Amino acid sequence: MSKAAKVVAALKVEELTERQARGEHKRLADEIGHHDKLYHEKDAPEISDADYDKLRQRLKAIEAKFPQLVDMFSPTQRVAPTPTTAFTKVTHRRPMLSLDNAFTDEELQGFLDRVRRGLERETDLTPDAEIAFSCEAKIDGLSISLRYENGEFVQGATRGDGTTGEDVTANLKTIKDIPQKLKGKGVPSSLDVRGEVYMERKAFLELNERQVAAGEKAYVNPRNTAAGSLRQLDPEITAERPLRFFAYAWGEAEPRSWKTHSEYLKMLKEWGFKTNPLTRLCRTGDAVRAFYRKIGEERPDLPYDIDGVVYKVDRIDWQERLGFVSRAPRWAIAHKFPAEQARTRLNGINIQVGRTGALTPVAELEPVNVGGVVVARATLHNADEIERLDVRVGDMVTIQRAGDVIPQVLGFVPEERPKSARKYHFPTHCPCPLKTEVKAGEGGVVRRCSGGLECPFQQVERLRYFVSRNCFDIEGLGGTHIENFFEDGLLKTPADIFRLRDKEREIRKREGWGDLSVRNLLAAIDARRTISLDRFINALGIPLIGEATAKILAQEYGDADVWLTEMLKAARERKKAPDDVKKEKAAAEVGESYGRLCNVEQIGVTTADAMCAFFGEGHTVDIIKDLLKQLTVEAVKRRVVAADAPLKDKIVVFTGELSTMTRDAAKARAEELGAKVTDSVSKKTSLVVVGENAGSKARKAAELGVQTLTEEEWAKLSA
């Protein structure tokens, strides 16, 4: 974010000019869209629910003051990102809308007042008449719609974007709480039952214990684990997960016999569904608030996670009179809980070293219960964050589970700071046995061990990365196994993984390793002795090189030997050129190989320099050459573009959600037509294909004057 944007973001909404509000509106829409995609599609949120809600609140406040900024692409006008293409799409017969939120008692009262005014206007309700609300705990899970025809379960789908979801019927059939055939009276011939798939805390902890015991990575939280479990392509994996289901709403229901929401909940139980036992009917505002406080007090002791309370007008005819506004009903609201916080003692600060050598400080805490989870460690991010918070060993600190997920230190309690509290001094040398010097990176925020691959901490983390899913994807060789094998000398470098067959007897003697598990591990390793060049490059953990860039490099150089030779030449050329000359001269003048590397799409000088530094270390090259002796790295068939290809030498970027084709299919078609497909928009970009919910890339294209095409226009061009 630029300095100007930061200034605007710090202003109160009432202080904004229309021009400032327009820029802030775009920034917030982009940021919310980014977090929506992480939450709904990848089940991997990176900010807390509370922080996300603040973004939406500010956006709504801006739109309230500047209604001319509201358009169909605003996050306030939609539910969630369009679903991914891993599952068949399902169009909901009635939209699955989300709820507006209340965070304060004043906002709750505002909702109650709006409901009363609306009913007085639309019905014969008198000012002193009673309005009953069905009040329910808001389960923190994944929203699902279940389709029943003549009482038989025929289809289940995720919420998706509210209009279109993903067909996860096979996975839902593995959940015991979901009846396959409804029993009892009054079952509609066509019925959509809606509710929440979730995982209880105890089951989540037990699942994590099994993960760790198997040497796999622990899951983050019950909500994401439940969502990820339900979206497995293999239903047998879903069946192994302890998923539960609460029913609480309906979509289409023909014929419908119930007249109140509370009556419907009773019928759900008669039909065989589980409903939340905490649901209550409240007839006054005071009763509603009392219920919220009661549930908040009981929250830590509940067997599942909740993040608020939902209030719904009980009478269905009144719901229909009140109707909807944009993405949410006027007759319901979610009253969110504040983020869970607690105080505890900071006993120490330890340093973790990542695969790139980055040093991350971790707070060691006196164990404390935060929202039903015992927290003993929390991240302090970096040296600057410690300085900003001024936390010291011995302090009483306030911690929060961000989004009820990631523990973070908010600050210290001044009045409880002991005289013995010690100011923390960030280490100048890595805590690894080598004690190599720590150096600040560009900007000084991240500090790294300078030991490179000789640092044992980095070696372990790089080995973990090497076997991960997007790299060599070696099943059965999880993080814990890597660490244990490393500590006991069974492996030190990636090549040692492929020499583990020579140590089969030694592995069999280890606790937890039987004949079958050893055979499976060795078979999984052998299956990866042939690997594509892009996966090989990605697995090396080269700074600034990820999966997408690895594919581009593989396409550029084609062959592992050619690629390695060119990287070594580029590193030598880069090393010979004095720094002042390198700044003044073009990349090609530094050297032919260095210039070629800098001109690869999405590389540039910064990334090229990082790669040259990586290949400038002798021991790194020895490790790679040793690894190549164990493998067959498949050469990439270079694309031969016909001279008359319609998009020859054009650079194409796809942004937003495509509805008629997958992103991969669109990229493949563009390449068939001779184009180079990249992920970022620059002056070199020839055209940008803009799908739904497009964000900053579309705006950048407009700013740079780059041609843009709709999905329909792209389809005609590429036909």
Fold of the CATH domain 3-77: Helix Hairpins (1.10.287)
Q: What is the chain's Cα-based Rg?
A: 29
Does the active-site annotation cover 583?
no
Which residue ranges of the chain lie beneath pLDDT 70? Answer: 1-8, 37, 39-46, 48-50, 71-73, 77-86, 214-217, 220, 326-327, 339, 369, 371-373, 401-406, 441-444, 453, 578-586, 588, 638-643, 659, 664, 693, 695
Please state the domain extents for the chain: 3-77, 101-336, 341-423, 453-528, 534-634, 651-718
Which of helix, strand or coil describes residue 164?
strand
- In this predicted structure, what is the pLDDT of residue 567? 94
Quote the CA–CA distance of 470 and 473 in Å, as a whole number.
6
Query: Which CATH homologous superfamily contains domain 101-336?
Result: DNA ligase/mRNA capping enzyme (3.30.470.30)
| Topology alike, domains 3-77 and 101-336 | no
**Could you tell me the pTM of the whole model?**
0.48
pLDDT at position 7 is 59
Please report the pLDDT score of residue 160 as a whole number.
Answer: 84
* Statement: 453-528 belongs to CATH 3.30.420.270: no
Q: Specify the pLDDT at position 478.
A: 80
Structure tokens at 154: 């025929």
Evaluate whether 612 touches 590 at the Cβ level (below 8 Å): no
For the domain covering 534-634, report its CATH number: 1.10.150.20
Q: Report the pLDDT value the prediction gives residue 609, as an integer from 0 to 100.
A: 87
Say which residues have a Cβ less than 8 Å from residue 444's Cβ, sequence separation at least 6: 384
Measuring CA to CA, which residue among 515, 520, 545, 544 is closest to residue 533? 545
382: nearest Cα among 421, 440, 339: 440
In angstroms, the Cα distances linking 149 to 187, 270, 712 are: 10, 17, 36
So what's the pLDDT on residue 601?
72
Asked if 192 and 204 touch (Cβ cutoff 8 Å), the reply is no
Helix (H, G, I), strand (E, B) or coil at 703: helix
Catalytic residue selected from 37, 138, 336, 697: 138
Beta carbons of 264 and 191 less than 8 angstroms apart:
no
| pLDDT score recorded for residue 287 | 95
CATH value of 341-423 in 2.40.50.140, 2.60.120.1270, 3.90.1150.10, 3.90.470.20: 2.40.50.140
* Per-residue pLDDT at 82: 45
- Please tell me the predicted confidence (pLDDT) of residue 372: 54
Q: Which fold has domain 651-718?
A: Rossmann fold (3.40.50)
- Residue 84 has what pLDDT? 47
